[in-house]
Amino acid sequence: MLVPKQWLHWGEKSGLKPEIRRWGELSMYHLIGRGRRWRVNCHQKFQISCPIAEFDRWANSLEYETEIPKSESEFREAVHHMLQIVREKNSKKFDNV
């Protein structure tokens, strides 16, 4: 997987930090922050999960995905856009109840 070398720096500036994976290692491809998990998958997609409290595994918890951002401004826009979409999607769930 190829992500820009500044990836973790961009994540930190957007409120995301590397997630500590098994065996205590940090992952460049798995981030955590803003109440959700984030990752780059093997198909080169940047993904956001459901809220951490509801997270089971990625197969059950994926909420939205987009292309990998190539610049810091694209990264910030992607994070903002993805959060906005999942929040709207979740608010519509409760409107239909």
Exposure string of 61-96, with b = 16+ CB inside 10 Å and e = fewer, is bbbbebebbeeeebbeebbeebbeebeeeeeeeeee
Query: For the chain (length 97 residues), average pLDDT per consecutive 10?
Result: 88 94 80 96 94 94 96 97 93 67
pLDDT for 1 equals 61
Per-residue pLDDT, 96: 58
State the pLDDT at residue 95: 62
Contacts from 69-74 at CB under 8 Å and sequence distance 24+?
69/4, 69/10, 70/4, 71/4, 72/6, 72/10, 72/13
Domain boundaries, the chain: 7-95
pLDDT at position 90 is: 82
